[in-house]
Structures are given as C-alpha cells and as structure tokens.
C-alpha cells in the first residue's frame, strides 16, 4: 500500500515511532500482566492510562506533520489538489480501502475495549488506594478493615449518572495533579464537597424502606489497672420501632424518614459544632427551630447563611474509614486475643506509650517498644523478669495495631476524623442532642439516656448486672468520678482519656 506523499516529514515519522513503540509496549506489558497475576498497579496505569495517551499523541503528531506539509506544498502551487482521488472500480483502490477499513475496525474495537478496561480500572479500589499509595494510605488501610472492603471506592464516592461520572474523573485528574506537585492538605479534609458520598449511593444497597429494628451492641473495654479489668456493656440500640412494619416512624433512623426534613448550620467545615437546627414535618407542615444559646449569640438567631440537609453521613461519617483511638484499638486487640489480658498492666503500659504524638512511623516503631519495655523493666521488675518474652511480643503487636490507625506522614489519627456515631470521643449525636438546643417556646431536643438505647447488661465479671430486653439498667460509670463530673459530656474526658 502506497502512503500519501505528505506523510514523509519528520513530525509524522516521529509520530509513527511513538505509535509503534506504544503498541509494542502495550502488547508486551499486557502479556506480562496476564502471566503475573500479582503485578503492581503501576503497570495498569501504563497500559490503561499512559500508553493510550502516548498512542493518541503519536496519531496527533502524524496528522499535524501531514497538515503542515500539505499547507506548505499548497503555498508553492495553489491550484494543485492534494487529496487522493478514489475510484472504487479500480482494483488497487478497492484493496487500499479494504485495508483502511480493516485497520479502522480493529482500531475501534481495540479502543472500545481499551476505554472499557480504563473505565473499570479507574473505578477499582486498587487504582484509588494503591496508586496514590502515600496519600490514600490512611483511607485505604481502614477501608480494607471495614465492612465495606468489597465495595469499590467509586461505589461510594461516585454517584449515579453522567454528571457524577464526569465529576469523579475530573476530581481524579485534579488529585493526580496535586499529588505530582505534592500540593495537597495533610490530613485531607473530610467534608471536601467532592468526597462526601451522595445519600442515594448508600440507599442503592441499604434499602430505606427495609430499615432495621433494634440492634444489640456488645462493647468490651479494659480498665488501665493491674488486672486489665474487663468491663462489659450491652446496649439495645433503638434503630427503629419494635416492629419493622412501622417503618421509619420512630427511633434513630427516624431522621431519614421521607416525611421529615432536618436542616442544620454548623460553625465550620468539620461540622463539629451545630448551633442551629430546623426540623420540618413535610406531611403536617410543622416547623421547629432549635438553637443553642451558648454557641450562638442571641443576636444571630435568624436563619443562617449556610444550611445543610441531614443525611446518612451526618451519623455514618466513617462507614469505611474508621480510625480507632489508642484506647479503642488496644481494647479490640485485648478482646480479639492479639494482646493477652493476663499480662498485668498491659493496657496501662500501652496507654503510656501511645500518648506520645509521632512525626513519622519510623519514630513510633522505635519509641513504642522501648517505652513498653521501660514501663516493666523500671516500674514492675518482677513482671519483667518472668514475662520478658511476652512483653516484647506484645510491644510488637501494639506497634502493628498502631500502624492500622495512625499515619503520621499524613498527620492522620482518630482525633482528626472523629466518628459521629455515638457520643464517646466526639460529641456525635450530642452535637444536637445536647440538652441545650431549645426552641423559642422552650421545647428541647430530647437527650435522656433512654432515648436512643437501653442498657441490658453492664459491669465487670466481679459485679455484673443484667436485665431483660424490655427494661433498662441505669448507667453506672466503670470508675467513680469526682463530684461535678456528672455535668460533663462523655467526650469532655473520653476524647483524650489517658493523656
């Protein structure tokens, strides 16, 4: 097949070399990835993102070269026509057209398959999690430990429809740019508009009309004493009514009842302080505005500027990236048997070691075992002598648990992304159920301890109490608190209990 003469120029020839090399590399890497299933996701970036881009660049170079050449030729001889004349009655022309047609079909099929693969690939969690390894490490690590480890990142972070598709791909380009220029905030702000999932996305899998009734939650914690005293509490969470047929009419999931709209205005992006709330009953038209006079100066009681509508994420803000605080991940490790509660003072020793803030993971790896060993070898010599091996093994386990929840390089730990589900380490539900949010007519948002859950069991093995599912125990704090502490919110102490 004879190529048009305009193609013989340096720009087009360079284009040809680029196209040829990209195709060979694509083929080569593709065969390689088929042979090695466990290949790095960087290779996928080459096959599906970088090489196709260079292929397109090559084609552009070829066309540009031809265009410039044709323009130049025309200048010398303006009357000459450069476009080829095709005559379908001529055999050579038929052959050329058949060849061009075949190449076009192959190219179209290949680019269709390629873009489909690229679509699947940019949708995968490996793309988001492993590629941007350092940046996304905190979110990816916690994601792999969550109930949603099999839901892809895009399964939550991209909504439905073409608009979301374009937005998510644009935000990928934006993120890639800020990563290459190393210009992104550490930690990444939680409520960044593009990262907050759409309520509809959750509802694809969690069908709202089929919401749950009550749920028993069993919590085990360990006190920082010599015996690591185990403290149990079982709560019956009033997620919905006793009888599912009543739907979303009452209980915790009442907030997402389609007949109810709750709007609020936080003081800043983190939504930790909410001085203003408006409840509208869409069926009856009843409207109530609650404000917290302590947080909101009386003069500003009018409608604020920025009003948000409450959705799943106002409670479930950590469905996939839950960073546990030191007391929580040590409690988990103790009840999972990763650490032995039989080792006296292990909770206390861990709390001592972990109250330190670290600049790098390497410094944590060095400091934590040293601190644990010093705790015993200096303060508890007898235990150190008899249990040295167990202490050293425990210290290594504590570092491992630390690394699942703390990412000093990204300045990420539990305190920068508090969970709003509950009220222990952040104000969570108490941001609104504070007992201080009140309407002008004096109506409070309820906040009594039985509103959201009843306590079915509580206590240590030495002093354990329980009741039946219809009843509730009165909450007993595991250790006696000083007078005056009763007026404090749980999170006032618990957000930094051992520091």
When asked if residue 344 is in the footprint of ligand HEC (CB under 6 A), the reply is no
Minimum CB–partner distance for residue 230 and ligand HEC (Å):
10
- Tokens 């090399």 belong to 21
Specify whether the CB–CB gap between 312 and 156 falls below 8 A.
Answer: no
Q: Does 428 contact ligand HEC by CB under 6 A? A: yes
Q: Is the peptide bond before 187 cis (omega within 30 degrees of 0)?
A: yes
Site for ligand HEC in 109-148 (CB under 6 A): 125, 128-129, 136, 139-140, 143, 147-148
Q: Please list every residue from 211 through 230 that binds ligand HEC, using CB under 6 A.
A: 212, 215, 217, 219, 221, 223-224
470 in Cβ contact with 492 (< 8 Å)? no
If one asks whether residue 69 binds ligand HEC (CB under 6 A), the answer comes out as no
Q: How far is the CB of 78 from ligand HEC (least distance, A)?
A: 58
From 369, 423, 426, 456, residue interacting with ligand HEC (rule: CB under 6 A): 423
Separation of alpha carbons 348 and 345, rounded Å: 5
* Under rule CB under 6 A, residue 346 binds ligand HEC: no
- Which residues pair with residue 455 across a beta bridge? 235
Q: Is position 324 an interface residue for ligand HEC (rule: CB under 6 A)?
A: no
Task: Name which of 90 and 269 has its Cβ closer to ligand HEC.
Answer: 269
Of 235-254, binders to ligand HEC (CB under 6 A) are: 235, 237-239, 250-254
Cβ proximity to ligand HEC: between 114 and 344 the closer is 344
**Rule CB under 6 A: is residue 317 a binding residue for ligand HEC?**
yes
Of residues 59 and 497, the one with the C-beta less far from ligand HEC: 497
Q: Is 409 in the site for ligand HEC (CB under 6 A)?
A: no
Q: In what order do the strands lie in the sheet with 260-265?
A: 287-291, 276-281, 260-265, 308-309
Which of 164, 231, 367, 384 binds ligand HEC (CB under 6 A)? It is 231
Q: Which is nearer to ligand HEC, 35 or 245 (CB)?
A: 245
Q: Could you say whether residue 197 binds ligand HEC (CB under 6 A)?
A: yes
C-alpha span between 96 and 102 (Å, rounded): 10
In 3D space, the residue among 369, 410, 362, 408 whose CA is nearest the CA of residue 391 turns out to be: 369
SS3 call for 10? helix
Instruction: Tell me if 452 contacts ligand HEC by CB under 6 A.
Output: yes
Return the residue of 429, 434, 454, 456 that touches ligand HEC, per CB under 6 A: 429
3-state secondary structure of 155: helix
Of 82 and 168, CB closest to ligand HEC: 168
* Distance in Å, CB of 31 to ligand HEC, minimum: 28
Report how far residue 179's alpha carbon sits from residue 128's, in angstroms, rounded to the nearest whole number.
12
Q: Annotate 79-109 with DSSP letters as a single string.
A: T---SPP--TTSHHHHHHHHHHHHHHHHHHH
Task: Please give the backbone phi and psi of residue 167, each rounded to the nearest 5 degrees, phi first.
Answer: -60, -40
Residue with smaller CB distance to ligand HEC, 54 or 146: 146
Considering beta carbons, is residue 64 or 416 the nearer one to ligand HEC? 416
| Strands of 215-222's sheet in order across | 215-222, 230-237, 453-460, 463-466
Q: Give the count of alpha carbons within 13 A of 178, CB side only.
A: 13
Q: Which is nearer to ligand HEC, 12 or 317 (CB)?
A: 317
Stretch that binds ligand HEC, among 57-65, 91-99, 338-346, 483-491 (CB under 6 A): 483-491
Cα end-to-end distance, the chain, whole Å: 79
Per CB under 6 A, contacts with ligand HEC among 261-300 are 262, 264, 274, 277, 279
Give the position of tokens 């997402």. Answer: 256
Structure tokens at 151: 């839901």
């Amino acid at each position: 097949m004879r190529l048009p003469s305009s193609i013989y120029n340096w720009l087009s020839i360079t284009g040809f070399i680029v196209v040829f090399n990209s195709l060979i590399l694509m083929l080569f890497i593709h065969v390689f990835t088929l042979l090695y299933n466990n290949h790095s996701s960087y290779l996928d970036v080459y096959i599906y993102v970088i090489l196709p881009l260079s292929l397109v660049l090559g084609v552009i170079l070829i066309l540009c070269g031809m265009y410039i050449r044709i323009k130049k030729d025309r200048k010398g001889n303006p009357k000459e026509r450069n476009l080829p004349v095709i005559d379908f009655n001529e055999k050579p022309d038929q052959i050329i057209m058949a060849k061009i047609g075949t190449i076009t079909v192959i190219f179209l099929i290949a680019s269709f398959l390629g873009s489909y693969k690229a679509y699947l690939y940019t949708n995968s969690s490996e793309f988001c999690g492993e590629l941007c390894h350092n940046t996304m490490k905190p979110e990816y690590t916690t994601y792999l430990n969550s109930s949603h480890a099999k839901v892809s990142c895009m399964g939550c972070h991209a909504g439905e429809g073409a608009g979301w598709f374009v937005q998510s791909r644009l935000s990928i380009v934006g993120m890639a740019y800020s990563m290459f220029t190393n210009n992104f905030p550490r930690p990444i702000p939680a409520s960044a508009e593009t990262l907050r999932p759409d309520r509809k996305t959750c509802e694809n899998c969690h069908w709202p009309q089929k919401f749950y009734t009550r749920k028993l939650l069993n919590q085990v914690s360990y006190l920082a004493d010599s015996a690591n005293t185990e403290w149990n509490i079982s709560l019956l969470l009033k997620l919905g009514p006793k009888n599912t047929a009543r739907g979303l009419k009452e209980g915790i999931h009442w907030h997402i009842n389609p007949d109810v709209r709750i709007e609020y205005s936080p003081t800043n992006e983190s939504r930790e302080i909410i001085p203003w709330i408006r409840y509208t009953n869409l069926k009856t038209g009843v409207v109530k505005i609650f404000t917290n006079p302590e947080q909101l100066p009386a003069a500003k009681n009018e409608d604020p500027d920025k009003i948000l509508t409450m959705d799943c994420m106002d409670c479930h803000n950590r469905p996939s990236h839950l960073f546990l605080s030191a007391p929580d991940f040590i409690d988990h490790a103790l009840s999972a048997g990763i650490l032995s509660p039989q080792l006296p003072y292990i909770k206390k020793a861990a709390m001592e070691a972990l109250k330190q803030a670290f600049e790098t993971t390497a410094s944590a790896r060095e400091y934590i075992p040293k601190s644990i060993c010093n705790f015993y070898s200096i303060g508890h010599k007898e235990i150190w002598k008899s249990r040295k091996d167990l202490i050293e093994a425990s210290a290594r386990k504590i570092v491992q648990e630390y690394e699942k929840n703390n990412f000093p390089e990204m300045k990420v730990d539990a305190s920068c992304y508090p969970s709003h589900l509950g009220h222990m380490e952040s104000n969570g539900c108490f941001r609104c159920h504070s007992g201080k949010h009140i309407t002008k007519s004096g109506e409070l948002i309820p906040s009594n301890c039985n509103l959201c859950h009843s306590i079915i069991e509580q206590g240590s093995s030495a002093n354990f109490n329980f009741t039946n599912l219809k009843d509730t125990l009165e909450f007993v704090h595991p250790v006696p608190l000083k007078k005056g502490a009763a007026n404090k919110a749980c999170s006032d102490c618990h957000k930094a209990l051992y520091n």
